[in-house]
Amino acid sequence: MRCPICQNTTKVTNSRGADQGKAIRRRRLCVSCKRRFTTYERIELLGLDVEKRNGAREPYYRHKLELGIRKALEKRPFTEDQFQKLVSSVENEIFNLEKDTIGSDQIGKIVLSHLKEFDKVAYIRFASVYRNFRSPRAFEREAQKLEQQTTKSS
């Protein structure tokens, strides 16, 4: 692997399992500039297609899932490790469906179920895009519904 700073070769200084054994975390050291960084090696979900709302299909990409969740979590308190565990748990649920094609709406439902437990504000943000809220009242209704569910489970 090349150093992201100087593009020279790196060496692995430490490897260990991550995400409940679903990934390998590697600490690397650049032999030239001596900078350290971390890489993750994960299983890639090959052969999984996502069917969009308009009927178009595209290959599943983890980075697109990460971007959507990261946008919902913008300026919220979380660590990168917590974020990666959240994305991995969503991805594991998708993978465990054992389908060749999954609808983007189904992915959205899975993300919402995980965000509800992870961060309520991020849940509302993601729901606003996923459910296409058109008014402030829609936000208010969703927040009230979330508050009622939280009160019932407490």
Domain boundaries, the chain: 1-42, 44-133
> Is 95's pLDDT higher than 90?
no
Amino acid sitting at position 95: F
pLDDT at 41: 82
- What's this model's pTM, rounded to 2 decimal places? 0.66
Question: Out of 4-18, 32-46, 66-80, 93-107, which region has the weakest mean confidence (pLDDT)?
Answer: 32-46
Q: Is the pLDDT at 2 greater than 70, yes or no?
A: yes
* More confident site: 19 or 62: 62
Mean pLDDT of 29-33: 91
Please give the average per-residue pLDDT across 19-47, as a whole number. Answer: 82
Handedness of CA 89, 149, 108, 138 (dihedral sign): negative
Asked whether the CA dihedral 143, 149, 114, 109 is positive or negative, the reply is negative
Mean pLDDT across 101-127: 89
pLDDT of residue 88: 87
The average pLDDT across 26-30 equals 92
Using the predicted structure, report yes or no on whether residue 111 has a pLDDT greater than 90: yes
Largest CA distance in the chain: 57
